[in-house]
Amino acid sequence: MTVSDGVTGGSGSGWSDRFEEGLHPSIERFNASIGFDITLLQQDLDGSVAHARMLGRCDLISAQESEQLIEGLETIRQEAAAGDFNPGLEAEDVHFAVERRLIELLGPLGKKLHTGRSRNDQVGTDLRLWLRQQIDAIDGALLRFQRALFRHAEEHLHTLIPGYTHLQRAQPLSLAHHLLAYVEMAGRDRQRLQDVRRRVNCCPLGAAALAGTPLPINRQQTADDLGFEGLYANSLDAVSDRDFAVEFSAAASLVMVHLSRLSEEVIFWASEEFAFVRLTDRCATGSSLMPQKKNPDVPELVRGKTGRVFGHLQGLLTMIKGLPLAYNKDFQEDKEALFDVVRTSLDCLEAMAILLEEGIRFRPERLEQAVASDFSNATDVADYLVAREVPFREAYQLVGRLVKLCLEEGILLRDLPLNRWKQLHPGFEQDIYDAIAPRQVVAARLSEGGTGFAQVEKQLQRWRPVLA
Write out the catalytic residue numbers.
Answer: 166, 287
Task: Report whether 300 contacts 352 (CB < 8 A).
Answer: no
- DSSP element (H, E) containing 278: strand 277-279
C-alpha 10/C-alpha 33 separation (Å) is 20
**What is the SS3 assignment for 217?**
coil
Distance of CA 232 to the CA centre of its chain: 26
* Alpha carbon distance 119, 113 (integer Å): 12
Under 8 Å between Cβ of 150 and 467 = yes
Helix (H) and strand (E) counts for the chain?
19, 6
Cis peptide preceding 370, ω within 30 of 0: no
**E-assigned strand segments in 133-236:** 160-165, 168-174, 202-203, 230-231
Strands (E), 78-203: 160-165, 168-174, 202-203
**Calpha distance 22→449 (Å, rounded):** 67
> DSSP class of residue 285?
B
> Nearest-CA neighbor of 119 among 97, 103, 99, 95?
95
E strand or H helix at 128, and its extent? Answer: helix 119-155
- The CA-based dihedral angle spanning residues 53, 58, 62, 66, taken in that order and rounded to the nearest 10 degrees: -10
Which are the contacts of 254, defined by CB distance < 8 A and separation ≥ 6?
A: 188, 189, 192
**Are residues 112 and 55 in contact, defined by beta-carbon separation less than 8 angstroms?**
yes
Q: Counting beta carbons within 10 angstroms of the beta carbon of residue 213, is it exposed (0 to 12), middle (13 to 18) or buried (19 or more)?
A: middle
d(Cα 74, Cα 76) in Å, to the nearest integer?
5
**Pairing between strand 360-362 and 277-279?**
antiparallel
